[in-house]
Amino acid sequence: MEFPEFTPGMSARVELTVTDADTAQSLGSGDVPVLGTPRLLALAEAATVAATARQIPGGVTTVGSRAEVDHRAPSPLGRRVVAQATLTTVDGRKLHFDVVVRDGDAVVAEVRIERVILDRQKFIARAFGD
Protein backbone atom coordinates (compact mmCIF):
# COMPACT_ATOMS: atom_id res chain seq x y z
CA MET A 1 0.00 0.00 0.00
CA GLU A 2 1.23 3.45 -0.88
CA PHE A 3 1.12 6.02 1.87
CA PRO A 4 0.40 9.71 1.27
CA GLU A 5 3.08 12.34 1.64
CA PHE A 6 2.48 15.04 4.19
CA THR A 7 4.09 18.47 4.24
CA PRO A 8 5.27 20.20 7.40
CA GLY A 9 3.13 23.23 8.11
CA MET A 10 -0.21 21.45 7.67
CA SER A 11 -2.48 22.50 10.50
CA ALA A 12 -5.95 22.34 11.96
CA ARG A 13 -7.79 23.54 15.02
CA VAL A 14 -10.52 22.03 17.12
CA GLU A 15 -12.35 23.50 20.07
CA LEU A 16 -14.19 22.35 23.14
CA THR A 17 -16.38 23.99 25.75
CA VAL A 18 -15.48 22.42 29.09
CA THR A 19 -18.36 20.43 30.62
CA ASP A 20 -18.62 18.26 33.74
CA ALA A 21 -17.67 15.22 31.65
CA ASP A 22 -14.35 16.86 30.71
CA THR A 23 -13.17 17.57 34.25
CA ALA A 24 -10.40 15.92 36.20
CA GLN A 25 -13.04 14.87 38.75
CA SER A 26 -15.11 13.03 36.15
CA LEU A 27 -12.11 11.48 34.41
CA GLY A 28 -10.51 10.25 37.62
CA SER A 29 -7.31 12.20 36.98
CA GLY A 30 -7.74 14.52 39.95
CA ASP A 31 -10.33 16.00 42.26
CA VAL A 32 -10.83 19.46 40.81
CA PRO A 33 -13.63 20.69 38.50
CA VAL A 34 -11.38 21.89 35.64
CA LEU A 35 -10.38 20.46 32.26
CA GLY A 36 -8.64 17.16 32.95
CA THR A 37 -5.32 16.36 31.33
CA PRO A 38 -6.65 13.18 29.65
CA ARG A 39 -9.39 15.22 27.94
CA LEU A 40 -6.88 17.92 26.98
CA LEU A 41 -4.69 15.25 25.37
CA ALA A 42 -7.69 13.83 23.48
CA LEU A 43 -8.48 17.32 22.19
CA ALA A 44 -4.87 17.77 21.05
CA GLU A 45 -4.95 14.40 19.28
CA ALA A 46 -8.21 15.33 17.56
CA ALA A 47 -6.48 18.41 16.17
CA THR A 48 -3.63 16.28 14.75
CA VAL A 49 -6.15 13.93 13.11
CA ALA A 50 -7.97 16.90 11.61
CA ALA A 51 -4.69 18.29 10.23
CA THR A 52 -4.15 15.22 8.04
CA ALA A 53 -7.77 14.18 7.40
CA ARG A 54 -8.10 15.77 3.96
CA GLN A 55 -5.08 13.87 2.61
CA ILE A 56 -5.73 10.42 4.10
CA PRO A 57 -6.90 8.02 1.39
CA GLY A 58 -9.24 5.13 2.14
CA GLY A 59 -7.52 2.22 3.83
CA VAL A 60 -4.87 4.42 5.47
CA THR A 61 -4.96 5.89 8.96
CA THR A 62 -2.68 7.38 11.58
CA VAL A 63 -2.38 6.28 15.18
CA GLY A 64 -0.86 8.07 18.13
CA SER A 65 2.44 6.56 19.27
CA ARG A 66 3.90 9.17 21.61
CA ALA A 67 2.75 12.28 23.44
CA GLU A 68 4.37 14.80 25.73
CA VAL A 69 2.00 17.13 27.58
CA ASP A 70 2.89 20.34 29.38
CA HIS A 71 -0.44 21.25 31.02
CA ARG A 72 0.20 24.75 32.39
CA ALA A 73 -3.09 26.33 33.44
CA PRO A 74 -6.60 25.32 34.52
CA SER A 75 -9.70 25.79 32.37
CA PRO A 76 -12.90 25.86 34.42
CA LEU A 77 -16.37 24.70 33.44
CA GLY A 78 -17.92 26.66 30.59
CA ARG A 79 -14.64 27.89 29.12
CA ARG A 80 -13.92 27.38 25.43
CA VAL A 81 -10.48 25.94 24.72
CA VAL A 82 -8.94 25.75 21.26
CA ALA A 83 -6.26 23.28 20.17
CA GLN A 84 -4.15 24.28 17.17
CA ALA A 85 -2.03 21.44 15.74
CA THR A 86 0.82 21.98 13.28
CA LEU A 87 2.77 19.23 11.55
CA THR A 88 6.41 20.07 12.25
CA THR A 89 8.37 17.16 10.79
CA VAL A 90 7.87 14.01 8.76
CA ASP A 91 10.25 11.09 9.38
CA GLY A 92 9.26 8.23 7.10
CA ARG A 93 5.86 7.11 8.38
CA LYS A 94 6.18 9.17 11.59
CA LEU A 95 4.43 12.53 11.81
CA HIS A 96 5.48 14.97 14.53
CA PHE A 97 3.05 17.66 15.65
CA ASP A 98 3.20 20.64 17.97
CA VAL A 99 -0.16 21.50 19.50
CA VAL A 100 -0.93 24.67 21.42
CA VAL A 101 -4.10 24.71 23.51
CA ARG A 102 -5.46 28.13 24.42
CA ASP A 103 -8.18 29.44 26.68
CA GLY A 104 -8.71 32.89 25.18
CA ASP A 105 -5.25 34.43 24.91
CA ALA A 106 -3.77 32.24 27.66
CA VAL A 107 -1.75 29.16 26.73
CA VAL A 108 -3.27 26.26 28.66
CA ALA A 109 -0.96 23.57 27.32
CA GLU A 110 1.71 22.67 24.82
CA VAL A 111 1.60 19.12 23.51
CA ARG A 112 3.99 17.27 21.25
CA ILE A 113 2.41 14.29 19.49
CA GLU A 114 3.86 11.62 17.23
CA ARG A 115 1.52 9.72 14.92
CA VAL A 116 2.37 6.82 12.62
CA ILE A 117 0.86 6.31 9.17
CA LEU A 118 -0.30 2.75 8.57
CA ASP A 119 -2.59 0.37 6.73
CA ARG A 120 -5.88 0.52 8.62
CA GLN A 121 -7.03 -3.07 7.98
CA LYS A 122 -3.66 -4.60 8.87
CA PHE A 123 -3.60 -2.60 12.09
CA ILE A 124 -7.10 -3.72 13.08
CA ALA A 125 -6.32 -7.35 12.21
CA ARG A 126 -3.18 -7.22 14.35
CA ALA A 127 -5.06 -5.62 17.24
CA PHE A 128 -7.67 -8.39 17.23
CA GLY A 129 -5.23 -11.22 16.55
CA ASP A 130 -6.60 -12.10 13.11
Positive or negative, the Cα torsion across 15, 62, 20, 111?
A: negative
Of 60, 61, 68, 65, the residue nearest 98 (C-alpha): 68
Predicted TM-score (pTM) of the model is 0.94
Residue 115 has a pLDDT of 98
- Alpha-carbon distance of 58 to 52, in angstroms, equals 13
Task: Delimit the domains of the chain by residue range.
Answer: 11-127
Residue 3 has a pLDDT of 83
Which is the CATH superfamily of the domain at 11-127? Hotdog Thioesterase (3.10.129.10)
Q: What is the pLDDT of residues 80-128, one digit of tens each?
A: 999 999 999 999 999 999 999 999 999 999 999 999 999 999 999 999 9
Q: What is the pLDDT of residues 31-90, one digit of tens each?
A: 999 999 999 999 999 999 999 998 998 899 999 999 999 999 999 999 999 999 999 999
